[in-house]
Amino acid sequence: MTTRRDFLSKGALTAAGIGIARSEAYADEQRATQNLTPDRVKQLKPPAKPVIVTRVTGDQTVQEAYRMLLDGQDTLDAVHHVCLGRENDPRDHSVGLGGLPNEDGIVELDSCCMHGPSRRAGSVAGVRNIRNVCLVARKVFEHTSHVMLAGPGAENFAADLGFPRENLLTEDARKMWMLWKEGHSQMDWWGPGMADPAWKDPYADHPTPQPTMDLHGLASTGPGLSPGLSPGAIPRHPTPEWRQLIAMRTRKLTEMAADLGIEPEKRLAAVEQVLWPTTGTVHVSAVNTKGEMSGATTTSGLAWKLAGRIGDSPILGAGSFTDQDVGSAGATGTGEENIKVAGAHTIVELMRQGYSPKDAGMETLRRIVRNYNGEMNKVRYLDMEYYIVRKDGAYAGCSLWSTGATGHPREFVVHDGELRVEKCSALLEGSMTEWPPL
List residues forming the annotated binding site for substrate: 309-312, 332-335
Decide if 421 contacts 359 (C-beta within 8 A). Answer: no
Q: Closest approach of Cβ 277 to ligand ASP, in Å?
A: 9
8 Å CB contact between 413 and 53:
yes
Per DSSP, the three-state class of 17 is: coil
Residue numbers at the binding site for ligand ASP (CB under 6 A): 278-281, 299, 301-302, 311-313, 332-333, 335
CB of 312 to ligand ASP, least distance (A): 5
Q: How many CB atoms are closer than 10 A to CB 20?
A: 17
281 annotated active-site: yes
Tell me the C-alpha distance between 20 and 17, whole Å: 9
Q: Which residues belong to the annotated binding site?
A: 309-312, 332-335
In the bound state with ligand ASP, the residue whose beta carbon lies nearer, of 92 and 363, is: 92
Q: How far apart are CA 98 and CA 82, in angstroms?
A: 17
| Minimum distance of ligand ASP from residue 387's CB (angstroms) | 11
For residue 117, give Cα distances in angstroms to 251, 255, 286, 327: 53, 54, 12, 11
Looking at residue 343, the DSSP 8-state letter turns out to be H
Q: Is 130 exposed, middle or buried (0-12, 13-18, 19+ CB in 10 A)?
A: buried
Of 281, 298, 346, 433, the active-site residue reads: 281
Q: Which residues contact 226 (CB under 8 A, 6 or more apart)?
A: 217, 220, 355, 359, 362, 363, 366
- In whole angstroms, the minimum distance from the beta carbon of 356 to ligand ASP comes to 24
CB count within 10 Å of CB 310 equals 18
CB of 19 to ligand ASP, least distance (A): 27
Residues belonging to the active site? 281
